[in-house]
Amino acid sequence: MAAAAGGLGGGKKLVELFYDVVSPYSWLGFEVLCRYRHNWSIELRFRPAFLGAIMNTTGNQPPAMNPKRGQYMMKDIKRMAEYYQVPIQIPQDFMGSIIKKGSLSAMRFITAVDMTQPQFLEPVSRELWMRIWSRDEDITQPESILAAAKEAGLPSELAQKLLAMISTPEVKSRLKETTEEALEYGAFGMPAVVAHVNGESHLFFGSDRLELLGNFIGEKWLGPVPAASKPRL
């Protein structure tokens, strides 16, 4: 894993975020880490991966598959959304939208963006989260993915080319490789945050471990919305 080489020049530490837009907790971690890029001495690297494969490989299950845990999660997401100031709304057909439909096409599209137009990786990811987790809209159909790309500022012709890439071996292999890399770091769910310190990698699971991450890398936690950064949502 090339990314595990250690620290970066200028004293910055590499922090990788493995995420999938089907995961609301990944969105929370994504937005908070985006804010902290301006407060912590880190290089934040986005690593789109496929949560379904991670769950299957590790034998994990979505929290909603356990009735009591699912009930708790629905309340917990609302509290977390308010605390982190991210506009999450639970989809009306949660099982259909999240569990059954999944996110494979969306994550392949995001991977194609990462491979060819990385400057759009952050806004495209955010728009797909906005569709599924804020507006209860589809992210599986081609027109849905193209709508998110348009909102993110991708030119229509370019978005069409990227959409055509999702069925190519190159994109499929890249998503698989990134997912396998997350598993090698010890991921069993998402978000999986990996901090590289002194040549070693350290996994932090969940959006509620960012305060601990800051302490570990020698940075101060200033709450979910540090004063120097405002939510873009």
Q: What DSSP line would sit under 130-179, residue for residue?
A: HHHHTS----SSHHHHHHHHHHTT--HHHHHHHHHHTTSHHHHHHHHHHH
In a domain, residue 136? The reply is yes
Q: Among 13-22, 33-42, 59-68, 141-150, which stretch is predicted with the lowest mean pLDDT?
A: 59-68
- Of the pLDDT bands very low, low, confident and very high (cuts 50, 70, 90), residue 187 is very high
Q: How many CB atoms lie within 10 A of CB 144?
A: 17
Domain holding 191, by residue range, is: 12-216
Determine the 3-state secondary structure of 72 from DSSP: helix
In percent, the amount of the chain with pLDDT more than 90 equals 82
Does residue 116 lie in a domain region? yes
Domain-embedded: residue 56: yes
pLDDT score of 96: 82
Q: Which residues sit opposite 19 in a β-bridge?
A: 48
Average pLDDT over residues 69-96: 92
Q: State how many domains the chain has.
A: 1
Q: Is residue 111 part of a domain?
A: yes
Mean per-residue pLDDT, 38-42: 94
224 located within any domain: no
29: enclosing H helix or E strand: helix 24-36
Per the structure block, which two tokens stand in for 67? Answer: 């009735």
Q: CATH number for the domain including 29? A: 3.40.30.10
pLDDT, position 47: 98
Band of pLDDT at residue 10, cut at 50, 70 and 90: low
The pLDDT of residue 232 is 64
User: Is 4 domain-assigned?
Assistant: no
Q: 87: which 2 tokens?
A: 């506009």
User: Within a domain: residue 130?
Assistant: yes
Q: For the beta carbon of residue 87, count every other beta carbon within 10 angstroms.
A: 15
pLDDT tops 80 at residue 134: yes
Residue 133 has a pLDDT of 97
Share of the chain above pLDDT 70, in %: 93
